[in-house]
């Protein structure tokens, strides 16, 4: 399992470590905000398009080969800019990293499910989510230190070494998990399975959690600066959010496996806490920011392992890669849609109203989950 946790850390560290440092340290490559936006969108855009495809490929040929190929491609794409160091190759390297992550991220999720019994899925996905959260937390910090020490090329070089090392580790430690026989599936069969509430409810909850997490990380520092807080205080708010999400995930997974938490109660509680946290973020001053960050972190930390465990338990094992790829697509859409919704509402009123709009939307989702499951 440890190489799979390391793979989750790698994709999170690579995504946030580079994204947080593109704007301030690459004046030769990032010549405008439009160029910066394009570079930021390349990674997520590749994941949105390719994750379902690589998930389906993992079901066909086995998740382990797709995992190893994705890690090797990630190392090669990272080494590309570390060696070439030109604006054009930066675009190519970032696109290659996103495409490679699209391969090894859903494959790692599928292997987490295949290598653990159903009774241990909560713990397994809780630990996997914990190390991804650590990557999201440390990416901007360690990435900034590396860029300060050796420019962006050093960060890409470290990512190349990291991807290669995790790939070798996975090749040595992750057992061969052969693909399972699959019944013939038509496009209509796939549409029916993806429209089933057993898939839609956890995926929608995961998308909502990612939307809140992304909006919190992006806009809570803006609220802090508007309240006259310094960079240390605003940075602490983001650290509280990511730290709470990381700490809660393994505990939520254990509670799910032990029967102290159900899928229904876990998702509903996580959505409710996330909605309340976004409401607290509307309050002025440091207290509202910190309480909002903590509640958003706890809520998303509850949703993530419960949602993935629910998907794994309701999916035939021979279709795990396809399901995890489609679920990851939902998360990517939430990652982009949350900040866009907050920004759109804030542009016509205030940032507090943007937080409120996203909080109300997630709160309605929590209420709908209670009503649907109760019925």
pLDDT digits (tens, 9 = 90+) for 285-323: 888 888 998 999 999 999 999 998 888 888 777 777 777
Query: The domain containing residue 297 runs over which residues?
Result: 185-374
Q: Using the structure block, give the residue that is written with the tokens 């030769």.
A: 28
**Judgement on whether residues 134 and 164 belong to the same structural domain of the protein:** yes
Rounded Cα distance, 17 and 36, in Å: 15
* Average pLDDT along the chain: 83
Give the model's confidence band at 344: pLDDT under 50 very low, under 70 low, under 90 confident, else very high: confident
253-285 b/e (C-beta count within 10 Å ≥ 16 → b): bbbbbeeebebbbbbbbbbbbbbbbbbbbbbee
Q: Using the structure block, give the residue that is written with the tokens 């605003």.
A: 234
HSE, side-chain direction, 13 A CA sphere, residue 126:
21
What's the pLDDT tens digit per position in 228-286? 776 666 666 777 888 888 889 999 999 998 888 888 889 999 999 999 999 998 988 88
**Judgement on whether residues 29 and 138 belong to the same structural domain of the protein:** yes
Q: Is the pLDDT of residue 27 over 60?
A: no
Residue where a domain terminates, one of 127, 142, 174: 174
Residue predicted with more confidence, 52 or 318: 52
**Judgement on whether residues 257 and 138 belong to the same structural domain of the protein:** no
Q: Is the pLDDT of residue 158 over 90?
A: yes
Averaged over 349-354, what is the pLDDT? 87
- 180 in any annotated domain: no
Joined tokens for residue 357: 């709009």
- 137 in any annotated domain: yes
Q: Where does the chain have alpha helices with state H?
A: 2-19, 22-25, 33-61, 63-84, 87-114, 121-173, 187-195, 197-226, 231-257, 263-280, 285-314, 320-348, 351-374
| pLDDT the model gives residue 31 | 58
- How long, in residues, is the chain? 375
Q: Is the pLDDT of residue 33 over 60?
A: no
**Judgement on whether residues 137 and 206 belong to the same structural domain of the protein:** no
Averaged over 95-112, what is the pLDDT? 90
**Judgement on whether residues 126 and 241 belong to the same structural domain of the protein:** no
**Judgement on whether residues 199 and 116 belong to the same structural domain of the protein:** no
- 304 in any annotated domain: yes
Query: What is the maximum span of the chain, computed from C-alpha positions, in angstroms?
Result: 60
Residue where a domain terminates, one of 141, 174, 207: 174
Q: Is the pLDDT of residue 324 over 70?
A: yes
**Judgement on whether residues 21 and 125 belong to the same structural domain of the protein:** yes
**Judgement on whether residues 107 and 196 belong to the same structural domain of the protein:** no
Averaged over 143-154, what is the pLDDT? 84
| pLDDT the model gives residue 34 | 61
Q: What is the DSSP letter of 320?
A: H
| pLDDT the model gives residue 272 | 93
Residue where a domain terminates, one of 174, 206, 223: 174
**Judgement on whether residues 78 and 159 belong to the same structural domain of the protein:** yes
Joined tokens for residue 149: 């020490």
**Judgement on whether residues 110 and 203 belong to the same structural domain of the protein:** no
**Judgement on whether residues 8 and 150 belong to the same structural domain of the protein:** yes
Which CATH number goes with the domain that contains 272? 1.20.1250.20
Question: pTM of the predicted model, to two decimals?
Answer: 0.75
Cα Rg of the chain, angstroms = 20
* Range name among 97-101, 221-225, 307-311, 362-366 with the lowest pLDDT average: 221-225
Please choose, from the candidates 72, 59, 74, 61, the residue with its C-alpha nearest in 3D space to the C-alpha of residue 106: 59
* Range name among 23-32, 260-269, 327-336 with the lowest pLDDT average: 23-32
- 71 in any annotated domain: yes
Joined tokens for residue 174: 């992750």
Q: Is the pLDDT of residue 50 over 80?
A: yes
- 179 in any annotated domain: no
| Burial environment of residue 71 by CB neighbours within 10 A (0 to 12, 13 to 18, 19 or more) | buried
* Range name among 162-176, 218-232, 238-252, 321-335 with the lowest pLDDT average: 218-232
- 268 in any annotated domain: yes
Separation in Å, CA 188 to CA 195, 197, 311: 10, 16, 20
**Judgement on whether residues 353 and 206 belong to the same structural domain of the protein:** yes
User: What domain count does the chain have?
Assistant: 2
Rounded Cα distance, 368 and 55, in Å: 29
SS3 string of 67-132? HHHHHHHHHHHHHHHHHHCCHHHHHHHHHHHHHHHHHHHHHHHHHHHHCCCHHHHHHHHHHHHHHH
Q: Using the structure block, give the residue that is written with the tokens 């804030």.
A: 346
| pLDDT the model gives residue 375 | 46
Joined tokens for residue 27: 């004046």
- 100 in any annotated domain: yes
- 123 in any annotated domain: yes
């Amino acid at each position: 399992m440890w190489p799979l946790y390391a793979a989750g850390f790698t994709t999170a560290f690579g995504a946030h470590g580079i994204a947080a440092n593109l704007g301030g340290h690459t004046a030769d490559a990032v010549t405008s905000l439009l160029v910066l936006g394009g570079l930021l969108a390349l990674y997520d855009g590749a994941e949105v398009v390719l994750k379902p495809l690589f998930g389906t490929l993992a079901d066909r040929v086995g998740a382990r080969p797709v995992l190893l190929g994705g890690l090797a491609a990630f190392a090669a794409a990272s080494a590309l800019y570390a060696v070439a160091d030109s604006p054009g190759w930066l675009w190519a390297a970032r696109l290659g990293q996103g495409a490679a992550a699209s391969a090894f991220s859903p494959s790692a999720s599928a292997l987490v499910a295949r290598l653990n019994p159903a009774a241990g899925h909560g713990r397994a996905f809780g630990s996997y989510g914990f190390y991804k959260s650590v990557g999201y937390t440390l990416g901007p910090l360690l990435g900034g230190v590396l860029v300060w020490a050796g420019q962006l090329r050093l960060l890409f070089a470290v990512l190349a070494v990291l991807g290669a090392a995790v790939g070798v580790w996975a090749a040595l430690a992750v057992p061969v998990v052969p693909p399972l026989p699959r019944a013939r599936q038509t496009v209509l069969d796939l549409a029916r399975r993806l429209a089933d509430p057993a898939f839609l409810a956890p995926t929608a909850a995961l998308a909502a959690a990612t939307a809140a997490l992304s909006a919190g990380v992006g806009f809570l520092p803006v609220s802090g600066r508007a309240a006259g807080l310094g960079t240390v205080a605003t940075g602490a708010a983001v650290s509280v959010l990511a730290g709470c999400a990381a700490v809660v995930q393994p505990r939520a997974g254990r509670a799910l496996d032990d029967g102290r938490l159900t899928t229904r109660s876990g998702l509903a509680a996580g959505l409710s806490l996330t909605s309340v946290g976004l409401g607290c973020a509307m309050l002025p001053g440091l207290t509202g920011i910190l309480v909002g960050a903590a509640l958003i972190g706890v809520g998303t930390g509850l949703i993530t392992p419960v949602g993935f465990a629910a998907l794994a338990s309701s999916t035939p094992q021979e279709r795990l890669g396809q399901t995890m790829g489609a679920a990851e697509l939902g998360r990517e859409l939430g990652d982009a849609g949350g900040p866009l919704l907050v920004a759109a509402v804030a542009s016509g009123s205030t940032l507090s109203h943007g937080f409120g709009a996203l909080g109300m939307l997630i709160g309605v989702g929590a209420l709908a989950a209670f009503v649907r499951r109760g019925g």
